[in-house]
Amino acid sequence: MADQPPTVNSDIPENSKERFSLIKEQFVKKFGCEPIFFARAPGRVNLIGEHIDYCGYGVLPMAVEQDIVIAVATQDNGKLNLSNVDSQYVDFECDVAKYEINSSNPVWYNYFLCGFRGMSEMLGLTEPTGMQCMVHGLVPCNAGLSSSSALVCCAALATMQANGQQRSKKEIADMCASCERYIGTQGGGMDQAISFMAQMGTAKKIDFNPLREESVMLPSDVVFVVSNCCVEKNKAASSDFNTRVVECRLASQIIAKVKNLDWRQFKRFADLQRALGASLSEMVAIVGSVLHEGAYMKSEVCEVLGVSQEELAQTSLSANTLQVSEFQLRKRALHVYSEAGRVERFQEVCNTAPPGASGILGSLMNDSHTSCSVMYECSCTELDDLVKICVEAGAIGSRLTGAGWGGCAISMVPSSVVESFLAAVVEKYYQARGLGPRVGEALFATQPGSGAAVYLA
């Protein structure tokens, strides 16, 4: 499956026909010609395994129905023209061989350009074909459902199709994970992998280096409900995300140094674990004995590693974390190693379905949230409140999903109580905060959706 290219369908699915024809209408209005195909890439919700993909550990997401669709026509004038059905996103035009991706300004078309550039480079094209594109997104922005990666992936897929090429889902996903870093965020590869490798009806365990996927059947007596706390967080617009990536890197390097390994070789906790030949619980013990509580000042990190601040910038920091002066290392490391263990257990429970499986999965989700909130400090008051309300309303498990600091929670709810659950969350969270009008898009049950594909117009 993952070794195959994304499917090219000659028929548009019945339930998408109306939407696709509206996008086509906008396309014709804007460009005065008809699109030749549509590219589609979904957003995702991560069930468990937060902030561990960039540390080399497996995660367990599924695609959501909400997606990005781009209607495309090729043109031979060497131009890329981008327009969005939603007029709050301004039009953009550039030459196919001459444009800049401005990482200090995460405006919408820069994500398109990441996918466009990544695919052009992958195909070895210095002059990819010109394209006219009409974009329509239904993934809520800055909500932890991966709207940005869906756009990067969709743009890459559109560029591949427009240039008449084919690459496997796996290759494209790997490439999209790297090219999204043109925008400055040093994310892992979860979002891009699931956007391409998702399959209707099943969640996926995604592992990295090399990228691989396995289907994970979820219990049939529960429903997964997404709820947006309505605090927006654009991870490319602040240094919070990259600070976490750097903290993980520094923690790996310090432990490597203390264990007499060549610390410069270590950027990820998973590589460190492999080198030490330790289990995840042994790693938790090692972290406890090597890293102290509280913050490490930058000067202390330099002293332990035996480098100057300039050298540290080269070995460990990113452009937007050069100014960070203190790092939490122990808490971050404890989160990552324990969360990696929870993902393994979650997959095992799904696969073996022991008695009380949903209860075990729910506890793992609850523990994951606590660890994200307390140890990784990537939640916010509103999201913590929402998760608490979800559990009180009948969820067996609830946790923040995606990068955090705002955005969505994912809750596992027994099918038998979904209606009362939804009613209680509407009342206790949305109505209580004057967010009643947002309920329609902010609170919804979701099922594992399908991955990225092309549809001929």
Spatial distance between the Cα atoms of 201 and 444, rounded to a whole number of angstroms = 17
DSSP 8-state code for residue 316: T
Q: Which residues contact 193 (CB under 8 A, 6 or more apart)?
A: 173, 174, 177, 204, 206, 208, 211, 213
Is 240 known to be catalytic? no
Residue (56 or 449) nearer to ligand GLA, CB: 56
Least distance to ligand GLA, CB of residue 10, Å: 33
Burial 390-417 (b: 16+ CB within 10 A, else e): bbebbbbbbbbbbbbbbbbbbbbbbeee
Least distance to ligand GLA, CB of residue 422, Å: 26
Spatial distance between the Cα atoms of 426 and 445, rounded to a whole number of angstroms = 13
Residue (132 or 146) nearer to ligand GLA, CB: 146
Contact 186, 54 (CB under 8 A): yes
The radius of gyration of the chain's CA atoms, rounded to the nearest angstrom, is: 22
Spatial distance between the Cα atoms of 204 and 62, rounded to a whole number of angstroms = 6
Q: Which residues contact 219 (CB under 8 A, 6 or more apart)?
A: 350, 353, 357, 358, 361
The structure tokens 């509580």 sit at 293
Residue (60 or 386) nearer to ligand GLA, CB: 60
User: Encoding tokens for residue 218?
Assistant: 């979820």
Residue (81 or 252) nearer to ligand GLA, CB: 252
Residue (394 or 406) nearer to ligand GLA, CB: 406
Least distance to ligand GLA, CB of residue 61, Å: 9
List the strands of the sheet with 79-84, edge to edge: 8-9, 453-456, 37-48, 60-75, 130-137, 79-84, 92-95
Residue (190 or 312) nearer to ligand GLA, CB: 190
Which string of DSSP letters, residue by residue, matches 61-108? EEEEEEEEEEEEEEESSSEEEEEESSTTS--EEEETTB----TTS--H
Binding site residues, ligand GLA, CB under 6 A: 46, 50-51, 53-54, 146, 187-188, 190-191, 402-403
What single-letter amino acid sits at 88? Q
Spatial distance between the Cα atoms of 154 and 336, rounded to a whole number of angstroms = 30
- The total of other beta-carbon atoms located within 10 Å of residue 346's CB is 24
Residue (58 or 128) nearer to ligand GLA, CB: 58
Residue (53 or 67) nearer to ligand GLA, CB: 53
Spatial distance between the Cα atoms of 333 and 371, rounded to a whole number of angstroms = 11
Residues recorded for the chain: 457
- The total of other beta-carbon atoms located within 10 Å of residue 50's CB is 27
**Which residue among 191, 207, 367, 384 is the active-site one?**
191
Positions of E strands within 156-312: 203-207, 212-216, 222-228, 295-297
> Which residues belong to the active site?
191
